[in-house]
Structure 1
Amino acid sequence: MSKFIIQVNGPAYGSSASVNALRFTQAALLSGHQVICVFFYQDGVYNSTELNLPASDEYDVVQQWKILAAKYQVPLVNCVSAALRRGIIAQQDAQENGLSHWNVGQPFIMGGLGELVTGIESADRLICF
């Protein structure tokens, strides 16, 4: 079986990238492959905001990422630089910079491109959406 890193470059809404990445990740895991992490980069960091409120009859891709992470223990990692430039702020970043609010929800964590590169070294494939 293969080891994958999934890179999501598209936002939760307005692009099919996130949904396609989620479905690929689900299929890979169900097929017995390992997903080392899902790395959210560029506009992909918008997948981690707690401020997405889709209508009750719409597919909630952000919630589905959370369910996947909990079920399979897959880390969901935001590129911290891409996130901060887009106003996607984790609690620790808010506290360190004197901000009273943050919008990154659990189980998303902040990481850097170094973590992506390190993960790539142990993966068989990097799949980008």
Structure 2
Amino acid sequence: MKFVLLISSAPQSPATRRALRFAQALLGSGHSLERVFFYQEAVHIASKLLVYPQDEPNIAQQWQTFIQQHQLDAVVCIAAALRRGVVDEGEAKRYQLQASNLAQGYTLSGLGQLHEAIQQTERMVHFRG
């Protein structure tokens, strides 16, 4: 079965950790994960500047590793990302910012990417805080 995940919870939220465990279980059970869409507060997961306390698991790094290992399509809502200071090199230049902070493996795009994924899959699961 083909799935798309919509994650809108903050990185430290239990929902974000559950989303990762769910994604791992999906792939482990032979299902396909067509796209992971990060929206609202979840866009912070895609920032390479996120720092976790030493006594907490680094869920952002776990997501990045998972996405790269499975070569997943990880899309970050561009409007939500810009509002929260998460930018790629192109957006940093466009807005004359000094640096970009979008982690490797993620792509900035619009809600159209979510809509397209929903149309092409059998299930969408939303994880929110």
Query: Aligned with 1:56: secondary structure?
Result: coil
Letter in 2 for 1:111: S
**CA positional deviation for 1:55:** 2.6
Letter in 2 for 1:52: L
TM-score relative to the length of structure 1: 0.94
Distance in structure 2 (CA, Å) of the matches to 1:95 and 1:18: 30
1:68 aligns with 2:66: yes
Distance in structure 2 (CA, Å) of the matches to 1:56 and 1:93: 31
Letter in 2 for 1:34: S
In structure 2, which of residues 40, 44, 52 is the aligned counterpart of residue 42 of structure 1? 40
TM-score relative to the length of structure 2: 0.94
In structure 2, which of residues 18, 21, 38 is the aligned counterpart of residue 20 of structure 1? 18
1:63-93, CA deviations, whole angstroms, 9 ceiling, x for partnerless residues? Answer: 1111111111111110000111111111110
Letter in 2 for 1:5: V
RMSD: 1.0
How many residues align? The count is 127
1:44-72, CA deviations, whole angstroms, 9 ceiling, x for partnerless residues? Answer: 10111111111333211111111111111
1:3 aligns with 2:2: yes
Distance in structure 1 (CA, Å) of the matches to 2:40 and 2:31: 26
Identity %: 36
1:78-127, CA deviations, whole angstroms, 9 ceiling, x for partnerless residues? Answer: 00001111111111100112111121111111011111111111100010
Distance in structure 2 (CA, Å) of the matches to 1:81 and 1:49: 15
Structure 2 residue runs of 5 or longer lacking an equivalent are none
Structure 1 residue runs of 5 or longer lacking an equivalent are none
Letter in 2 for 1:48: A
